[in-house]
Copies of this chain bind each other. A is one copy, B any other.
Amino acid sequence: MKKLNHRKGGKRPPPARQDGLATKRQLLESAGEIFAEQGYARATSKEICERANANIAAVNYHFGGKDGLYAAVLEEAHSRLVSLESMQAAAQSRIDPRMKLRMFIGRIVAEVAKTESAGWELRVLSREILSRSPLMAGLIQNQIAPKAKLLRSLIAEIMQLPVEDPAVSRSLINIMGPFLMLLITDRALQKQVAPKLDLDPQTLTDHMVTYALAGLEAVAKANR
């Protein structure tokens, strides 16, 4: 029996107009949970609406259907990990690029530290990265690609190389790969691979920044 948030008094009336935004948010949240649990194929709009206490027509009304809702869930999940707005604000500030990298890494480390009580966001994204549905296009275009572009600019600035240099692209993999690994593998597996791993946010941030800055400098030297 699936967990449902039944309202007392049985069937609820169709959502009033002023509730539109709240309904949309609740649909995203319930859909995130259900897509994370069951995957895209097995999840149904009906179950999502039931959990969100929303009218069955609400998915079509707000998202144009299950596909649109799923695409919105993917973008919402990525946005909650690191928002494009916060990255753009950091990119435009005039602080040292090494300090910007530290702030960016600190932000991701904070997410890693949270994953013991992981929400649906990471599970939905992890599933999608592997299942590679056509519905990932919006996520890539609106979230992943612009964030990666900002990060490449930052890396290029630190390396003092043109942003088009292949060493810049490769270094992005060096910086993001460890976090992807920490985000998609569970703690039990991490303990087997790296038993002494200390995920204290401050320690992990210092480690990742020290490692990255030294790596970037060495690779930049070899490519200048």
Contacts and interface: CB of A to CB of B under 8 A. Distances in A.
Interface string A192-203: 111111100001
Interface of A: 123, 126-127, 129-130, 132, 136, 140, 144-145, 148, 152, 164-174, 176-182, 184-186, 189, 192-198, 203-204, 206-208, 210-219, 222
Contacts of A195: 169
Contact of A196 (B129, B166, B196, B207): B166
Stoichiometry, as copies per complex, reads: 2
Nearest to A163: B196
B222 A218 contact: no
Nearest to A218: B214
Given A212-B215, A219-B211, A222-B210, A170 B194 contact: yes
B129 A185 contact: yes
Given A166-B198, A194-B152, A130 B184 contact: yes
A173 B178 CA distance: 5
A42 B216 CA distance: 45
Contacts of A182: 173, 177
A132 B192 contact: no
Nearest to A141: B192
A126 B210 CA distance: 29
Nearest to A126: B130
Nearest to A168: B196
Given A132-B189, A164-B196, A173-B178, 11 more contacts: A130-B184, A144-B193, A148-B194, A167-B207, A170-B204, A174-B178, A211-B216, A211-B218, A214-B214, A214-B217, A215-B215
28 contacts: A129-B189, A130-B130, A130-B184, A132-B186, A132-B189, A145-B193, A166-B196, A166-B197, A166-B203, A167-B207, A168-B196, A169-B194, A169-B195, A172-B194, A173-B178, A173-B181, A173-B194, A173-B197, A174-B174, A174-B208, A176-B177, A176-B181, A177-B177, A177-B181, A181-B181, A207-B219, A210-B219, A211-B219
